[in-house]
Amino acid sequence: MTMIFGIPIQAFLGQLLVGLINGSFYAMLSLGLAIIFGLLRVINFAHGAQYMLGAFVGFLLLSYLGIGYWPALILVPLIVGVSGMVIERLALSRLYDVDPLYGLLFTFGLALVIEGAFRYYFGVSGQIYTPPPQLSGGTNLGFMFLPNYRGWVVIASLFICLGTWLLIEKTRLGAYLRAATENPILVQAFGVNVPLLLTLTYGIGSALAGLAGIMAAPVYQVSPLMGSNLIIVVFAVVVVGGMGSILGAIITGYMLGLAEGLTKVFYPEASNIVIFVIMAIVLLVRPAGLFGRDA
Amino acid sequence: MADLTTTAIEGRTRARVEWLLTAIAILALIAAPFFLYPIFIMKMLCFALFACAFNLLLGFTGLLSFGHAAFFGGAAYFTAHAVKEWGWTPEAGVLLGVVGAAALGLVIGFFAIRRQGIYFAMITLALAQMFYFFCLQAPFTKGEDGIQGVPRGHLFGIIDLSSPHAMYYFVLGGFLIGVFAVWRIVNSPFGMILKSIRENENRATSLGYSVARYKLAAFVMSAALAGLAGAMKALVFQFATLTDVTWQMSGEVILMTLLGGIGTMLGPIVGAGLVVALQNYLATSEFPVTIITGAIFMICVLLFRRGIVGEVYARLARGNSGKAS
């Protein structure tokens, strides 16, 4: 058997793949957080709950209405996104004038309510969501066995991140968004409906979390607690990347996922905390984050 | 001039009323174990002190820590281990818990103060989560089981704390010392500087204060006092478990402070009392506490950000100004 650094290459690449998968979800989630924070100045603590919501909505669509994975990829982000917009209209929009910490606390409460409700109705045990038949099975790449669904997640998440980045950097809507991030009052004076833009932004951010959730459903088990532990890691990712740049959030997400996978190979005991350790080091060396602009 | 004297007299009467109320409250607390279940009040006192310590940071320095469970639960582990495995006396065990929490506060605070506002909250949350994973894996915490069957021992080697009343007065003593410490810190020149940092950090820097050092000092003090609360809780319930170091616990202390009133002396105590009573009430029902907790969070943030005590103060102030005009 081929060995690399004294470890079978299969195990090595396997963990690297797990790292890449985790990294895909970190990237999608930190991207959503960064978009929301950029315009709303709100740290969306409910992001983890919305990710869980995405997985559960997909699971419920399948088990009660028989709606499969492919339609769910469209429906789930729509449902989670619209629910996010309702919350933004009803509650978050009232908090823009006060200290941004209140936005964090509100979304924290929201996360507790959503998770508590799902725990109450579904218990803590995980539900299985089988991947669609087109993506079941795996491919032998010669040097390793790649489950098809996992390969799909990595590729699809790359496209989603790239697509979102293009949406923000290259389209008219994205231009409005970036302008409103710089100076909302001036943009409003030019006749752009900024409150609507804010609602839409929160909707897009939530939809991204929901999309990540439905994509994660076949990889991890669908459980009410799947988001709450993830969100803390994603916060650390966001601190490392700095929320100034969208591309930075994406790159940091993949990088830290890979770092986590590598740690699992060489020193498994530390794999839970390696991202936090990296965060601490980055804070010492570059307090603003790797891609951060704000001091 | 006339106005000045009346406000001075009013201020003095108000101070006198406040002293009187404090004295009544302390007397009530001394009498309480004869009327109520001592363990229940001890739990309230521990959480009230925890919330006061947290409020020293959020209310008086303007720093939102989302990782205070690390100090509360960490101290509980240190104390439980010292008392059970090393046979230390309870006061020495509690002291170790406080010192340990302060040291932990120094490390976490050192990293967290490098960023401000929302980032500060995220960093404290992440570092506290790291400490949670440490507690989950370190051998001395006994993993999922926690440290069970911690003996209360003899205070100074003499007073047997296994009697509920003796334990109660020990906890009450710790609580009063802790709350007095917070009050003293807030009303000292040092506390004034903390408030100036809360109001306008840049201005405090430009006035020549080393803001980072003051923030770190406040963070360590807050951690030490949270540690005092956690250490006492470990002795009261005779165990230390992972529950006390989870992020949910960090959220709970924020809720207590927010509900009672951020930046008031009395608020965190009222908030802690209400939250503990609510949990006690819901403990027997099947309905999950987190839904209620989360809903209270949202309602507080949307409708009364001043909290209960803050709202009462605001009403009183409005009433007074109404009379004056």
> What are the tens digits of pLDDT across the range B174-214?
999 999 999 999 999 999 999 999 998 899 999 888 999 99
Determine contact, residues B311/B261, Cβ cutoff 8 Å: yes
pLDDT confidence bin for B325, thresholds 50/70/90: very low
pLDDT higher than threshold 70 for residue B142: yes
CB-based burial, B199-209: b 16+ in 10 Å, e otherwise:
eebeebeeeeb
pLDDT confidence bin for B2, thresholds 50/70/90: very low
Q: Residue A2: its pLDDT value, please? A: 65
- Across A82-96, B23-37, B227-241, B257-271, least confident range: B23-37
Identify the CA nearest to A78 among candidates A92, A58, A62: A58
- Chain B contacts of A94, Cβ < 8 Å? 302
Q: Residue B8: its pLDDT value, please? A: 62
Distance CA B113, CA A233 (A): 19
Kindly report the three-state secondary structure assignment for every residue of A218-237: CCCCECCCHHHHHHHHHHHH
Contacts of B286 (CB under 8 A, 6+ apart): none
For residue A74, how far is the Cα from the chain centroid?
A: 17
pLDDT higher than threshold 80 for residue A142: no
pLDDT higher than threshold 70 for residue B6: no
pLDDT confidence bin for A1, thresholds 50/70/90: low
* Average predicted confidence (pLDDT) for chain A: 87
Least CB–CB distance from B258: residue in A105, A276, A287: A105
Determine contact, residues B134/B74, Cβ cutoff 8 Å: no
Determine contact, residues B65/B219, Cβ cutoff 8 Å: yes
Determine contact, residues A225/A127, Cβ cutoff 8 Å: no
> What are the tens digits of pLDDT across the range B247-283?
989 999 999 999 999 988 889 999 999 999 988 888 8
> Reduced to 3 DSSP states, what percent helix, strand and coil does chain A have, rounded to the nearest 5?
75, 5, 20
Distance (Å) from the alpha carbon of B48 to chain A's nearest alpha carbon: 20
Beta bridge partners of A147: A138
- Chain B contacts of A108, Cβ < 8 Å? 251, 254, 294, 297
Torsion angle, alpha carbons of B313, B317, B323, B324, to 10 = 150
Least CB–CB distance from B302: residue in A94, A117, A236: A94
Distance CA B69, CA B81 (A): 18
pLDDT confidence bin for A122, thresholds 50/70/90: confident
Distance CA A63, CA A57 (A): 10
Task: Report percent pLDDT > 70 for chain A.
Answer: 97
- Chain A contacts of B295, Cβ < 8 Å? 109, 113
Q: Residue B9: its pLDDT value, please? A: 62
Q: Residue A10: its pLDDT value, please? A: 75
Q: Which residue type does A27 have?
A: A
Helices B267-282 + B38-61 axis angle, to 10: 140
- Chain A contacts of B294, Cβ < 8 Å? 108-114, 116
pLDDT confidence bin for A295, thresholds 50/70/90: very low
Distance CA B193, CA B195 (A): 5
Least CB–CB distance from B301: residue in A106, A228, A238: A106
Contacts of B115 (CB under 8 A, 6+ apart): A239, A283, A287, B123
Identify the CA nearest to B300 among candidates B280, B274, B281: B274
Mean pLDDT within B157-176: 86
- CB-based contact A232 B125, cutoff 8 Å: yes
pLDDT confidence bin for A58, thresholds 50/70/90: very high
Distance CA A232, CA A212 (A): 16
What secondary structure does DSSP assign to B269-324, as a single string?
Answer: HHHHHHHHHHHHHHTTSSS-HHHHHHHHHHHHHHH-TTHHHHHHHHHHHHHHHHHH
pLDDT confidence bin for B229, thresholds 50/70/90: very high
Determine contact, residues B117/B62, Cβ cutoff 8 Å: no
Q: Residue B1: its pLDDT value, please? A: 41
Helices B69-85 + B90-112 axis angle, to 10: 150
Q: Which residue type does B234 have?
A: A
Among B57, B215, B297, B304, most A C-beta atoms within 10 A, so best to mutate, is B297
pLDDT confidence bin for A3, thresholds 50/70/90: low
Output the pTM of the full model: 0.88
- Chain A contacts of B127, Cβ < 8 Å? 276, 280
> What are the tens digits of pLDDT across the range B42-74?
999 999 999 999 999 999 998 999 999 999 999
Q: Residue A294: its pLDDT value, please? A: 52
Q: How many Cβ atoms from other residues are within 10 Å of residue B134's Cβ?
A: 15
Q: Residue B69: its pLDDT value, please? A: 95
> Reduced to 3 DSSP states, what percent helix, strand and coil does chain B have, rounded to the nearest 5?
80, 0, 20
Q: Which has more pLDDT, A212 or A135?
A: A212
Mean pLDDT within A142-164: 87
Interior angle at CA A234, CA B241 and CA A92, nearest 5: 100
Q: Residue B153: its pLDDT value, please? A: 77
Mean pLDDT within A26-51: 90
Determine contact, residues A230/A23, Cβ cutoff 8 Å: no
Q: How many Cβ atoms from other residues are within 10 Å of residue B247's Cβ?
A: 21
Mean pLDDT within A156-167: 92
| Total number of residues shown for chain A | 295
- CB-based contact A109 B125, cutoff 8 Å: no
Contacts of B130 (CB under 8 A, 6+ apart): A273, A276, A277
Distance (Å) from the alpha carbon of A294 to chain B's nearest alpha carbon: 10
Q: Tell me if residue B161 falls in helix, strand or coil.
A: coil
Q: Is the ipTM of this complex over 0.95?
A: no
Identify the CA nearest to A228 among candidates B290, B240, B123: B290
Mean pLDDT within A262-279: 86
DSSP E strand stretches across A126-279: 138-140, 145-147
